Amino acid sequence: MNQDHEKQQLHLPRGFSFSAATAGIKASGKPDLALAIAAEGASAAALFTTNRVAAAPVQVGRDHLARSHGRMRALLVNSGNANCATGKAGHIACRQICAAVGDGLGMSGRQVFPSSTGIIGVPLQADKILARLPQLIAQAEATEAAARAFAGAIITTDLRPKLTSAQLKVGNKTISILGIAKGAGMIHPQMATMLVYLFTDAEASPAALQGHLRAAVDLTLNCISIDGDTSTNDTVLLLASGNSGLKLQSEGVRSKFAESLAAVCRSLAEQIVGDGEGVKHVVRLLVQQARSREEADQVARTIAHSLLVKTAWAGADPNWGRILAAIGRSGVPLDPARVDIFFGKQQVCRKGEAVSFDEKSAHLYLSQPQYEITIQLGRGKSSSEFLTCDLTAEYVHINADYTT
Amino acid sequence: MNQDHEKQQLHLPRGFSFSAATAGIKASGKPDLALAIAAEGASAAALFTTNRVAAAPVQVGRDHLARSHGRMRALLVNSGNANCATGKAGHIACRQICAAVGDGLGMSGRQVFPSSTGIIGVPLQADKILARLPQLIAQAEATEAAARAFAGAIITTDLRPKLTSAQLKVGNKTISILGIAKGAGMIHPQMATMLVYLFTDAEASPAALQGHLRAAVDLTLNCISIDGDTSTNDTVLLLASGNSGLKLQSEGVRSKFAESLAAVCRSLAEQIVGDGEGVKHVVRLLVQQARSREEADQVARTIAHSLLVKTAWAGADPNWGRILAAIGRSGVPLDPARVDIFFGKQQVCRKGEAVSFDEKSAHLYLSQPQYEITIQLGRGKSSSEFLTCDLTAEYVHINADYTT
């Protein structure tokens, strides 16, 4: 999948500086350490993996948010090692690194938010990270180049860094939102954690931020599925410096901000699904006429996780029977005789039965790198949109050939 | 996967005859019509797909069982067309075929149990089947060759027919159980319905049979997973002629019969999982120390359906981190710090953390065509056994290249 996000000029929110370094955690020798500093502090909100196996940084990050009452002054990310299933030693290493960042910036380690991504079950070499911290702190800059370096240092198996930004004007003031992400489920998925960092200069309380973050993520980053596996390190963090002078909760800002935040999250979600050598087709599933949003989601997820459906997509095969069978086992008590299925605008199933359609044009439609499939359940008025992708032989080759 | 079931001599239950024919439903010109006759009738019990999209024969079969109060005299199976998503015409075709079998045997069509497997959404050509019925009925025989011909005519993408049998002696009498199945989720899964037919000469009421069938299937055929997709036509049917003169519910028969029936179902389950060009490794998952059987099943299913785990198995990769991550997202509120994982007898994870193990010998162990992985949750005394397989690039190639 080709994307032009690298060429976009970024809107940088005020109050943040960035830097990156190579600590030698990645065997490749590529940059693997990234720092973001909010010198005057930032309100913070976060969402974490629901996996019961949560890595040390997820647990420490949650703890630091609670103890600092949602005020953070730095974010430190390492790639190459997830610091997961590493026991007590993993926790100690994580806290030690946070404390060292705090020392370097003259503040408490509890105001440092840690993230890790990479291999599971291998001890994190904290000394390699500690040795790079002075350089990392000294070089932090509030520039686009530094933000791009940050994005480059947090990726693992991603083919390219993932950034996007948005700006909204209210009167003569502006709010910027910068989004940086990593994640590409198709390659070496042991290192396929989704990390998303959102930076803004809006002014907001941690509680208000949390509500905005939840709403934006529910409609975007929570509606993507590559392979159905939830990582042990998944983290979405939103930091708000307040430097724009615009209060998030004020009239005329709230709804515009919500819209822009969702747009940033949506772009990052698309970049994540579209990344990875294995992905040939990005599929937007539109499930309509459900009784509730939950019901629509359930149908969309079942389709998105069906191996038979995903392999049919890899071959651009207009095999709607597999989609109908997936709908039928979704657990929603629907009547198959009311189900309609469309590839783009072309109807392929009406009231649960075949309709005659041009298979060649359907095949051509499904051969595109990105397309839409609409499912109408004939039960109600709720709908859901879900972004997913095909399952190719490359996915299997890459994941089977990866050895610990 | 190589199996020797074809060479086994079969124990044929008395009271049944079999035959097969070529009706021309399959494009390949291979046999696609199979008949089993219980001339004096048989008690019947059945389990069907839970998919809301149920094919016409599933609905008609359910109806015939109810109307005949669980007494069947014939079973007619066609392969090559699932008669699913075919609307009212599909139902009419199915009933018409049952009626014609009834006419040929001098009984009601309601005593005929129908099954179909094959492509979805294509009208069933009933006339082709009707034309072959006289020959099919005339040629039915109570021989091993005829039973094997039946087994050969119900397969679609299976590499080989699936049969097994068992015999139990009580005093100087014997009960035989014959099992015939089709199903191989790896190839052309639009035609991957699981059909299982169990024939016995035990004497039993339909209600007693149903209890035995449910118990045997729960521990065997319901504990296999190839790709997590449930077909629209899945059917398991148990017919009991009573010709052995041994009552199923009598002392000394019940438990022996239950054991033998489970053994037959287990063998068929193994044959189904092991079949298909895509399968390189059959994996027996043993989930132990759960609080309940349901909880153990939930963990086993999450592991068995994880793409990351299944692709690691394809590469014989001792990547236990993927298994731990799957356990963590199973929905069971477990403590990862109590989880142990073993490849065979070799422990690879203790209390949620890495233990040093010989990766080379673990890789060799996982290179075998069949092996065991044990997961201990440290929560209770319940356990579950689940049979599954790896996900290979061949699976994707075959399923992506199949076009409707």
Residues facing residue B167 across a β-bridge: B176
The span from the CA of B118 to the CA of B153, in Å, is 12
What is the number of residues in chain B?
404
Question: Which amino acid is residue B44, in one-letter code?
Answer: A
Structure tokens at B58: 């599933």
CATH of the domain at B294: 3.10.20.340
Same domain, B182 and B218: yes
| Mean pLDDT computed over A264-278 | 85
Per-residue model confidence (pLDDT) at position A187? 35
pLDDT band at B221 (very low <50, low <70, confident <90, very high): confident
Same domain, B208 and B85: yes
Nearest CB to A53: which of B312, B325, B400?
Answer: B325
Same domain, B268 and B286: no
B164 located within any domain: yes
| Mean pLDDT computed over A115-142 | 95
* Cβ(A103)–Cβ(A70) below 8 Å: no
pLDDT band at A404 (very low <50, low <70, confident <90, very high): very low
**Residues of chain B found within 8 Å of residue A333, distances taken between Cβ atoms:** 52
The span from the CA of B222 to the CA of B217, in Å, is 6
B301 located within any domain: yes
Collapsing DSSP to helix, strand or coil, B150 comes out as helix
Across the interface, whether the CB atoms of A393 and B393 are under 8 A apart is answered yes
pLDDT band at A2 (very low <50, low <70, confident <90, very high): very low
Query: Which spans in B139-235 are helix H?
Result: 144-153, 206-219
B206 located within any domain: yes
Q: Which of residues 150-209 of A touch B (CB under 8 A)?
A: 189-190, 192
A8 located within any domain: no
The span from the CA of B128 to the CA of B22, in Å, is 9
Q: Which residues have a Cβ under 8 Å from the Cβ of A388 and sit 6 or more positions away?
A: A224, A225, A226, A273, A282, A283, A285, A303, A304, A310
The span from the CA of B100 to the CA of B128, in Å, is 13
Per-residue model confidence (pLDDT) at position B187? 35
Same domain, A40 and A134: yes
* Cβ(A157)–Cβ(A187) below 8 Å: yes
Same domain, A244 and A379: no
CA distance A339 to chain B (A): 10
Nearest CB to B307: which of A228, A231, A317?
Answer: A228
Of B214, B244, B274, the residue at which a domain comes to its end is: B274
Residue of B nearest to A326 (CA): B229
* Cβ(B126)–Cβ(B97) below 8 Å: yes
Residue of A nearest to B49 (CA): A329
Tell which residue, B167, B347, B322, has the closest CA to residue A121. Answer: B322
Residue B396 forms contact with A (CB below 8 Å): yes
A306 located within any domain: yes
Q: Which of residues 361-380 of A touch B (CB under 8 A)?
A: 363
pLDDT, tens digit, 9 for 90 and up, residues B175-201: 999 999 998 654 333 445 789 999 999
Complete DSSP assignment for A271-296: HHHH-STT---EEEEEEEEESSHHHH
DSSP 8-state secondary structure symbol assigned to residue A357: -
Nearest CB to A393: which of B317, B352, B396?
Answer: B396
Structure tokens at A397: 């080759």
Residue A305 forms contact with B (CB below 8 Å): yes
Residue B326 forms contact with A (CB below 8 Å): yes
Same domain, B260 and B303: no
**Residues of chain B found within 8 Å of residue A401, distances taken between Cβ atoms:** 315
Domain count, chain A: 2
CA distance B128 to chain A (A): 21
In Å, what is the CA distance from B234 to each residue of A325, B120, B164, B185, B252? 12, 13, 19, 12, 32
Residue A356 forms contact with B (CB below 8 Å): no
In Å, what is the CA distance from A158 to each residue of A95, A161, A394, B317? 27, 7, 15, 22
Catalytic residue among A193, A200, A388, A392: A193
Collapsing DSSP to helix, strand or coil, A166 comes out as strand
Of B274, B296, B321, the residue at which a domain comes to its end is: B274
* Cβ(A90)–Cβ(A123) below 8 Å: yes
Per-residue model confidence (pLDDT) at position B404? 36
* Cβ(B28)–Cβ(B38) below 8 Å: no
Across the interface, whether the CB atoms of A336 and B52 are under 8 A apart is answered yes
CA distance B317 to chain A (A): 6
CA B321 to chain CA centroid, Å, is 31
Cβ–Cβ pairs < 8 A, chains A and B: 223
**Is the pLDDT at A176 greater than 80, yes or no?**
yes
Across the interface, whether the CB atoms of B315 and A52 are under 8 A apart is answered no
Tell which residue, A185, A214, A383, has the closest CA to residue A300. Answer: A383
Across the interface, whether the CB atoms of A402 and B119 are under 8 A apart is answered no
- Residue B288 has phi, psi (to 5 degrees) of -125, 170
Residue A229 forms contact with B (CB below 8 Å): yes
CA distance B389 to chain A (A): 13
Collapsing DSSP to helix, strand or coil, B47 comes out as strand
| Mean pLDDT computed over A118-141 | 94
pLDDT band at B401 (very low <50, low <70, confident <90, very high): low
CATH of the domain at B32: 3.60.70.12
pLDDT, tens digit, 9 for 90 and up, residues A314-350: 989 898 988 998 899 898 999 999 999 999 999 999 9
Residue A66 forms contact with B (CB below 8 Å): no
Same domain, B229 and B320: no
Residue of B nearest to A226 (CA): B307
pLDDT, tens digit, 9 for 90 and up, residues B152-176: 999 987 888 999 999 999 999 999 9
Of A274, A304, A332, the residue at which a domain comes to its end is: A274
* Cβ(B26)–Cβ(B80) below 8 Å: yes
Across the interface, whether the CB atoms of A312 and B120 are under 8 A apart is answered no
Prediction pTM value: 0.81
Average pLDDT value for chain A: 90
The span from the CA of A84 to the CA of A124, in Å, is 9
**Is the pLDDT at B338 greater than 60, yes or no?**
yes
Same domain, A288 and A270: no
Nearest CB to A391: which of B336, B337, B396?
Answer: B396
Per-residue model confidence (pLDDT) at position B403? 42
Across the interface, whether the CB atoms of A50 and B329 are under 8 A apart is answered yes
DSSP 8-state secondary structure symbol assigned to residue B9: P
**Is the pLDDT at B3 greater than 50, yes or no?**
no
**How does strand A173-182 pair with strand A195-200?**
antiparallel
DSSP 8-state secondary structure symbol assigned to residue B231: P
**Is the pLDDT at A278 greater than 90, yes or no?**
no
pLDDT band at B305 (very low <50, low <70, confident <90, very high): confident
| Mean pLDDT computed over A378-402 | 82
CA distance A232 to chain B (A): 6
A353 located within any domain: yes
Across the interface, whether the CB atoms of B229 and A333 are under 8 A apart is answered no
| Mean pLDDT computed over A255-263 | 96
Query: Which spans in A116-205 are helix H?
Result: 126-138, 144-153
Residue A55 forms contact with B (CB below 8 Å): no
Collapsing DSSP to helix, strand or coil, A233 comes out as coil
- Residue B70 has phi, psi (to 5 degrees) of 75, 30
Residue A358 forms contact with B (CB below 8 Å): no
Residue A131 forms contact with B (CB below 8 Å): no
Same domain, A176 and A301: no
* Cβ(A175)–Cβ(A167) below 8 Å: yes
Same domain, B245 and B304: no
Structure tokens at A156: 């693992």
| Mean pLDDT computed over B272-297 | 89
pLDDT band at B235 (very low <50, low <70, confident <90, very high): very high
* A374 carries an active-site annotation: no
Question: Which amino acid is residue A215, in one-letter code?
Answer: A
The span from the CA of B269 to the CA of B236, in Å, is 12
**Is the pLDDT at A154 greater than 50, yes or no?**
yes
B43 located within any domain: yes
Per-residue model confidence (pLDDT) at position A51? 83
**Is the pLDDT at B285 greater than 80, yes or no?**
yes
DSSP 8-state secondary structure symbol assigned to residue B203: B
Across the interface, whether the CB atoms of B85 and A312 are under 8 A apart is answered no
**Is the pLDDT at A1 greater than 60, yes or no?**
no
**Is the pLDDT at A75 greater than 90, yes or no?**
yes
CA distance A108 to chain B (A): 29
CA distance A188 to chain B (A): 9
pLDDT band at B225 (very low <50, low <70, confident <90, very high): low
**Residues of chain B found within 8 Å of residue A324, distances taken between Cβ atoms:** 53, 85, 120-121, 232
Domain extent, residue A341, equals 282-401
Per-residue model confidence (pLDDT) at position A186? 44
Across the interface, whether the CB atoms of A393 and B400 are under 8 A apart is answered yes
Q: Which of residues 75-104 of A touch B (CB under 8 A)?
A: 84-87
∠ CA B154-B139-B150, rounded to 5°: 15
**Residues of chain B found within 8 Å of residue A116, distances taken between Cβ atoms:** none
CA distance A182 to chain B (A): 18
Torsion sign across C-alpha atoms A81, A82, A83, A87: negative
B7 located within any domain: no
Catalytic residue among B49, B193, B232, B302: B193
**Is the pLDDT at B262 greater than 50, yes or no?**
yes
Residue of B nearest to A397 (CA): B393
The span from the CA of B29 to the CA of B21, in Å, is 10
| Mean pLDDT computed over B368-385 | 96
H helix count then E strand count, chain B: 11, 15
pLDDT band at B118 (very low <50, low <70, confident <90, very high): confident
Same domain, B256 and B338: no
Residue B368: CB atoms within 10 A of its CB come to: 12
Same domain, A237 and A372: no
How much of chain B, in percent, has pLDDT values that exceed 90? 69
